[in-house]
Structures are given as C-alpha cells and as structure tokens.
Amino acid sequence: MNFRTQQAANRRKTIGLLIGMGVLVWLVAFAALTYFGQSTTAIVPIAVGIALVSVWGSYYGSDKLVLTMTGAKLIQESDNPKLFNLIQEVTIASGLPMPKVAIVIDSAPNAFATGRNQEHALIAFTTGILDAMDRDQLQGVIAHEMAHVANRDTLVSAVAATTAGAIAILSDMLTRMMWFGGGRDRDRNSNGNPIALVFSLLILILAPIAAVLLKSAISRKRESLADATAVAFTRNPAGLRSALEVLAADSTVVHQKSNSIAHIWIESPLDGKAVSKMFSTHPPIAERIAVLKAMESLN
C-alpha cells in the first residue's frame, strides 16, 4: 500500500469515527427525551456549550498551553542552524509556512506539533531526540510533525474532544437527574415502558466510555495519516521508519506525560503495557514500522 492509499484510507476512517461520535450525541439526546421527556430539551445545548468553552479555549491557545505544560522553550535559527535547515527543507516540500520551533530539555527522544492552524504552528523536539537521530531520521520526524500541521490535527482533536466532553457532561447531568428528582416524572415521560427506561440508562452509562474509545481511535488514525503524509513530503519512508525503530528501542519516557497532551507526542509516553490498545492514542509502533517498510518495498 503506497502513501496515497494510506492517506485516503485514514481520512475516510477519521470521517467515519467522527460520524460515530455524532451518533453517540444523538443517542444520549434520545435517551434524555425517552426518560425525561421535553423537560430536558435545554440540557443538550448546555452540555455542548460547556464542552465548547473548555476545549476551544484550549484550542486557540494551544501553543502557549503546551509550551507551559511541557516546559518547551522557543529557539531561533542561530541556536540550531542544522535543525532549522532541515525544517526549512520540509516546509518547502510541504508548502507550509515556517513554524515556530521549541526545545524540551529531556533525555527521552520525542517530538510534538501543536498550534490552532498552519499559520500558528509550533513543533518541538526533546534534546534526547536531537541527540539520538541522524539527519534522515530527524527529517522523517520533522515531516511527521509537519504532517500533523498540514492535516489540521489540532483542530480534529479539538472537535473529537468537544464531542466526547459534551457526551460525558450530558450523561453525567442526566444520570444525576435520574437518581435525584427525575423519578417522579419518568413513568409519565416514557409511558412507563420498562424496556425504554433500561435502554436509556444503558446509553447514559456506556456512551461516555464509547466516546473515549472513539476519540482514541481518531487519534490513532491521525498518527497513521501523519506517517503517510510525512512520506509524501520526503519520499523517504526509510527515514521515518528508522526513526521509529530508534524510539521503539529506547525505554526512556518524557517527564511531562500528562493524559491531556499524551496524544501530541510522536510516541505516546502513556502507551505502555498497562494501557489497553483500544484506549491508546497511537497505533503500536511495530505496526507503524511495518507499514513504512511496506512503502519502502514499493519504492
């Protein structure tokens, strides 16, 4: 499978997963109306509004927020001319504006990209990854991060987080209403249908879990898409494949490994043995390497 086929497949799957999250919102709204009737009509926009304010505030200030959370420091071209030269090569190949560049003082090899759009992008590298990678490997990492910028993955993540947040807030509000005061009206609103009541309760319990699973799946597809897009930029799958092999062989983990930003790193600091594959924000690194090897054979 070549990089174009990979890109198209991952974009289709992302759209399908986002539609799935939309269906979850509809199911939770349906459960609310089934259980409580028209009295809950206003709750859906309230939950969506709360999620929008919390997530999109972070989205618009994502570069500053992530700089603070990771301890990354902005650098200029004079601080690392070789790194800037590689980044400029990739920006020319991709047609993207030059991003801001930052360094994280951390021995673990890793990198990330953030920023609300292509004109406000930032890519950052740990000192560990700069020490561990040769030129081709580092070019592959840069291309992967610039691919996230090109594919507007910060925006996609914000949409997924908003939807998952709205589902969680809505389910929590409705469950609390169910136990505290909703019982008086539920028989009237659901026409006393016990099957409808049980079905509604199951939706409210399971929907937030399903939303987290879908959000994680979207993140995995965006990582796969970034790998394929990186190859489109460099035409050198071996560089990124070799870089991922270096990451796979290294067991050190970045110090700043918050759940809220785990998905932005090229290798998630949380995707260890204790994390179920279904909840992982990244595909297994061995799978990513195998896909890139297949692209190499086509070349």
- Model pLDDT for residues 125-165, shown as the tens digit of each residue: 999 999 999 999 999 999 999 999 999 998 888 888 878 88
**For 108-156, what is the HEC assignment?**
CCCEEEECCCHHHCEEEEEHHHHHHCCHHHHHHHHHHHHHHHHCCHHHH
Q: Are 24 and 167 in contact (CB under 8 A)?
A: yes
Q: Are 247 and 133 in contact (CB under 8 A)?
A: no
Residue with tokens 């092999």: 245
Q: How many CB atoms lie within 10 A of CB 124?
A: 28
What does the pLDDT read at residue 199?
Answer: 81
Q: Are 293 and 2 in contact (CB under 8 A)?
A: no
The number of domains in the chain is 1
207 closest CA partner among 173, 174, 164: 164
Sign of the torsion angle spanned by Cα atoms 250, 254, 259, 263: negative
Residues 6 or more apart whose Cβ sits within 8 Å of residue 101: 74, 75, 80, 83, 84, 87, 122, 123, 124, 125
Catalytic residue status for 119 = no
Written as six digits, the tokens of 72 are 């990354």
Residue with tokens 């270096």: 246
Residue 95: give the domain boundaries: 3-298
Kindly state the average pLDDT of the residues 230-248. 97
What does the pLDDT read at residue 55?
Answer: 67
113 closest CA partner among 96, 99, 133: 99
| pLDDT higher at 201 or 218 | 218
- pLDDT tens per residue, range 17-66: 888 888 888 888 777 777 666 655 666 677 667 777 766 666 677 778 88
| pLDDT higher at 189 or 143 | 143
What does the pLDDT read at residue 16?
Answer: 87
Pick from 47-56, 232-241, 273-282: least confident: 47-56
Written as six digits, the tokens of 190 are 């659901």
What does the pLDDT read at residue 58?
Answer: 67
Question: Which of 11-20, 21-30, 111-120, 248-257 tops mean pLDDT?
Answer: 111-120
Catalytic hit among 89, 119, 145, 223: 145
Residue 197's H or E segment, with its range, is helix 194-234
294 closest CA partner among 234, 235, 238, 232: 238
What does the pLDDT read at residue 271?
Answer: 58
Distance, in Å, from the CA atom of 181 to the CA atom of 102, rounded to the nearest integer, reads: 52
